[in-house]
Amino acid sequence: MSEITQDSNGFSKSFAVTHADHEFFFHLISFANKQILNISIDGILDTTFKIPVSTKASINYESMMDLIEREDVDDDGQEFTSAGQLPPEPQMIIGNYSNMKISIVASQVGKLMSIHSPREVILSIASKWFGKGDQVCEDDFDKLSFILENVKKLL
């Protein structure tokens, strides 16, 4: 792994790493209200997501966990769960909408980033390394773990 480089103002961090014969370049740009994360694989960025952050997550990550587990009673005395109030899902801006794998990767990256800094994220990533979205491969989880591990290094 190469060393993480940071600009003099601290707005931008990046590093390159080789894994499984592929060159990865992780680049994070942080603004007051937004973060832009580019993960190029062999120089390719072909999918972009807008990952909003929920208001509750920006107040306190633990409150988001409470939303998932808590049961409430509505005005009619009926119990309901707050599962409908889960954090917003990533919105694909550019890419193959039928590839569910890359959507899952974006969702996990968004959750990881919201823990460390709850701001909207624009994620650009190469989807081809993850394969077709309708096929399951043995190394899918390892690929996701590799991406999350390296994103965590930038945070």
Say if 79 falls within a structural domain. Answer: no
Is residue 117 one of the residues assigned to a domain? yes
Residue ranges in the chain modelled with pLDDT below 50: 70-74, 78-84
Residue 63 lies in a domain: no
Using CA atoms, how far apart are residues 39 and 45, in angstroms rounded to an integer?
Answer: 7
- Could you tell me the pTM of the whole model? 0.79
Q: 119 lies in which domain range? A: 5-56+86-154
**pLDDT value of residue 98:** 86
Q: What is the structure's pLDDT at 133? A: 75
Q: Annotate 76-145 with DSSP letters as a single string.
A: TS-EEEGGGGPPPPPEEEES-TT-HHHHHHHHHHHHHHHHH--SEEEEEE--GGG--TT---TTHHHHHH
Strands, sheet with 91-94, edge to edge from the N-terminal-most edge strand: 5-6, 12-19, 22-30, 34-41, 120-125, 47-51, 91-94
Position 135 scores a pLDDT of 84
Domain assignment of residue 68, yes or no: no
Q: Quick check: is 62 in a domain?
A: no
Q: Structurally, how many domains does the chain consist of? A: 1
Assigned domain for 108 exists: yes
pLDDT at 83: 46
* Per-residue pLDDT at 66: 55
33: domain CATH number?
A: 3.30.230.90
Is residue 76, in this structure, part of any structural domain at all? no
Give a yes or no: residue 90 inside a domain: yes
